[in-house]
Amino acid sequence: MVPLEPGQPAGDREGSLRGGTSIPFTAMRILIVGAGAVGYHLAERLSEEGEDVVVIDKDPERTRVVSDNLDVLPVTGNGASLPVLQEAGVTEADLLLAVTSQDEVNLVACLVASQLGAGFRVARLSSTDYYGENGVLSQEQLGIDLLISPERECAWEIFQLLNSEAATDLVRFAEGRLQLVGLRVREGAPVAGLNLVELDRKLEDRSWVTVAIVRDGETEIPKGSSRIEAGDHIYVLSRAEDLPAVPPLAGYERFNLERVMIAGGNREAVYLARHLNEHDVDCTILDVDRHRCQELAEELPGALVLHGDATDQELLEMEGVAGIDGFVSLTGQDETNLLAGLLAKTVGARKVISLMHRVDYLPLVDRVGVDAAVSPRMSTVNAILRYVRRGEVHTVATLKGADAEAMEVEVSESAPIAGKPLVEADLPERGLVGAIVRGNEVITPRGQDRVHPGDRVILFAAPDRISEFQRFFV
């Protein structure tokens, strides 16, 4: 069995979604094992969509937090326990998401659920001991329909971000034909000081749409009168082939990734180093543990491994961080990752990315001057939502730097908006249509464009409006 390779459509992942098809549910009963950051975010998102969600966790405090804040049914107990799963209604479950931080609990939960008749089973797994080329048991024997590796998903996201100096977020839609990029507008950028109507006149042939503007921590789903200012964090949806033209408009030069330094030698670092090596990018890994450095040198012959502290500014200068294309801090401590990233940026690294284990630390990254942050937990949430589809919904993404969500939806025959010009659809406030995909054609929407059954539309809205917005299309 081949391990998961992030960034590919579901049907391209051997052993993930059987037959490469979407999950055929309309209304679902969902069991989530684990009420940590991943489980909580999944429960929040799926309950907002009107699903019947049950959350299992052995920590009474975690189930209390879930119960107090979400419209879900909490069950306190071990998610790998047969009686607990039966109490939670596993036999009637359409979907089981085993997303605790313990691989063994997730594996047993899926195995038990498969024997009791749960519909579709997803497991979060970090260790490769249970799957891959050396695995003893197959995915089917483990009772798992979809494997998600947080470290692999996170490494792939970092690699994508490194390839653009400007990008703070990257999300793929419509099998990669459309990409959403987050970027900060620099002083003197061609778009700075223009509202969207003025921008539309200035760039008549543009094929991208500004779908969110973040200023001083406040997110705006923009209208024609919305103005882009230097320092804004904007989110732009573009056809993949036109994406390289977007960063220069925000004040960035063309960017070629040639040299990257990674601080920390965890699993994310190993997977990232392999991606870099496959794309002929010079990679240096810095770690404070001498024994771990020896292991990395044996495991990654294509990388230069150094023993040292990434928060030592003199060492960073000596190792040539000034002018390096990318610096990624992947240690086990969020505070160290922020400090190392800030030092690398101060020394002169062009693109700096820091790993944040705590989701509530993500907003700090923008404030301290680090270019982008990644979260294994959020990467896992987005990966699961990307493949666990509800009816006509194909992709769901939560944007790390904005209070907004994105959704790719297939328009149904009975959709209220079908056949109407967008300008006459009376869509809710704080939401917009970013693109219309009709067969092989990608349409940058204008007010007179119509949406037809079978089209795919990319929607953007505030989190409390996304479900309301979705109802116009399904």
pTM of the entire structure? 0.75
**What's the CATH fold of domain 259-379?**
Rossmann fold (3.40.50)
- The model's confidence at residue 133, banded by pLDDT at 50, 70 and 90, is low
- Cβ-contact 124, 150 below 8 angstroms: yes
Query: Across all residues in the chain, what is the average pLDDT?
Result: 86
Average pLDDT over residues 350-362: 89
For the chain, which residues make up each domain, given as ranges?
A: 10-148, 166-249, 259-379, 404-470
Lowest-confidence range among 49-53, 84-88, 368-372, 462-466? 462-466
The CATH superfamily label for domain 166-249 reads: Regulator of K+ conductance, C-terminal domain (3.30.70.1450)
Spell 405-418 as b/e; 16+ CB within 10 A means b: bbbbbbbeeebebb
Helix (H, G, I), strand (E, B) or coil at 368: helix
Lowest-confidence range among 140-149, 218-227, 310-319, 448-457? 140-149
Distance CA 402, CA 381 (A): 16
Which CATH code for domain 10-148?
3.40.50.720
Lowest-confidence range among 293-302, 386-395, 443-452? 386-395
Q: Confirm whether 10-148 and 404-470 share one CATH topology.
A: no
The pLDDT, as a whole number, for residue 20 is 34
Strands in 405-410's sheet, in edge-to-edge order, are 393-398, 405-410, 456-461, 431-438, 441-443
**What's the CATH fold of domain 404-470?**
Alpha-Beta Plaits (3.30.70)
- Cβ-contact 386, 378 below 8 angstroms: no
pLDDT at 242 over 60: yes
- The model's confidence at residue 7, banded by pLDDT at 50, 70 and 90, is very low
Average pLDDT over residues 261-286: 95
